[in-house]
Amino acid sequence: MKKKLTPIFGIAIVFALLLCACGGMAVGKSAADESSDSDIVEPAEVVAEPVTITFWHTYNEISPENEMLMNTLIPLFEAEHPNIKVESLPVAYEDFRTKLFTSISGGVAPDLARIDIIWTPELADMGALASIDEEMSDFADYMDLLFAGPLATNFWNGHYYGLPLDTNTKLWFYNKALYDSAGITAPASVDEMLDQCQMLKAANPDVYYFATDGTWAWVVLPWIWSFGGDITDVEVTTATGYLNGAQTVAAFEFLKELYDQGCIAPVIMGSGIDTFAGYGQDVYASLDNGPWTFPIVESQFPDKEISISPFPAGAGGSINVVGGENIVLFQQSENKEAAMEFLRFVLSKKYQEKMAEVGQLPVRVDLIESDFIKNHEYYGMFLEQLKTSKSRTAHPKWSQMDEIITNAGQLILRNEKSAQEALDEAAAQIDELLK
Average pLDDT, the chain: 91
For the segment 243-279, what is each residue's pLDDT rounded down to a tens digit? 999 999 999 999 999 999 999 999 999 999 999 999 9
pLDDT at 311 over 60: yes
| Percent of the chain residues topping a pLDDT of 70 | 89
171-174, strands of its sheet edge to edge: 2-4, 305-309, 171-174, 286-289
Q: Are 77 and 84 in contact (CB under 8 A)?
A: yes
Q: Are 121 and 397 in contact (CB under 8 A)?
A: no
Q: Where are the domains of the chain?
A: 13-169+322-386, 171-321+397-434
Q: Are 90 and 57 in contact (CB under 8 A)?
A: yes
For the segment 154-211, what is each residue's pLDDT rounded down to a tens digit? 999 999 999 999 999 999 999 999 999 999 999 999 999 999 999 999 999 999 999 9
Query: Is the torsion defined by CA of 267, 216, 229, 310 positive or negative?
Result: negative
| Percent of the chain residues topping a pLDDT of 90 | 88
Q: How confident is the model at residue 305 (pLDDT cuts 50, 70, 90)?
A: confident
Q: Are 386 and 149 in contact (CB under 8 A)?
A: yes
Q: What is the structure's pLDDT at 49?
A: 85
For the segment 373-398, what is each residue's pLDDT rounded down to a tens digit? 999 999 999 999 999 999 999 999 99
Determine the Cα–Cα distance for residues 287 and 209; give it in Å rounded to an integer. 9
Q: Are 162 and 129 in contact (CB under 8 A)?
A: yes
Q: What is the structure's pLDDT at 46?
A: 57
If one compares 9 and 144, the residue with the highest pLDDT of the two is 144
24: left (phi over 0), alpha (psi -120 to 50) or beta: beta
If one compares 38 and 232, the residue with the highest pLDDT of the two is 232
- Could you report how far apart the first and last alpha carbons of the chain are, in Å? 46
Determine the Cα–Cα distance for residues 35 and 127; give it in Å rounded to an integer. 40
pLDDT at 15 over 60: no
The residues, ordered by sequence, that sit 6+ positions from 112 with a Cβ below 8 Å of its Cβ are 53, 54, 55, 56, 327, 328, 329, 330, 333, 339, 342, 343
Determine the Cα–Cα distance for residues 3 and 360; give it in Å rounded to an integer. 19
**Which architecture does CATH list for 13-169+322-386?**
3-Layer(aba) Sandwich (3.40)
Determine the Cα–Cα distance for residues 253 and 217; give it in Å rounded to an integer. 16
82: left (phi over 0), alpha (psi -120 to 50) or beta: alpha
- For helices 246-260 and 217-226, the axis angle rounded to 10 degrees is 120
Q: Which one is the CATH code of 171-321+397-434: 3.40.50.300, 1.10.4030.10, 3.40.190.10, 3.40.50.1400? A: 3.40.190.10
For the segment 28-68, what is each residue's pLDDT rounded down to a tens digit? 333 333 334 446 545 445 567 899 999 999 999 999 999 99
What mean pLDDT is predicted for residues 299-314?
95
Domains 13-169+322-386 and 171-321+397-434 share a fold: yes
Per the document, the length of the chain is: 435
Residue ranges of alpha helices (H) inside 33-190 are 64-68, 74-80, 93-105, 120-125, 132-135, 139-143, 148-152, 176-182
Determine the Cα–Cα distance for residues 114 and 19; give it in Å rounded to an integer. 13
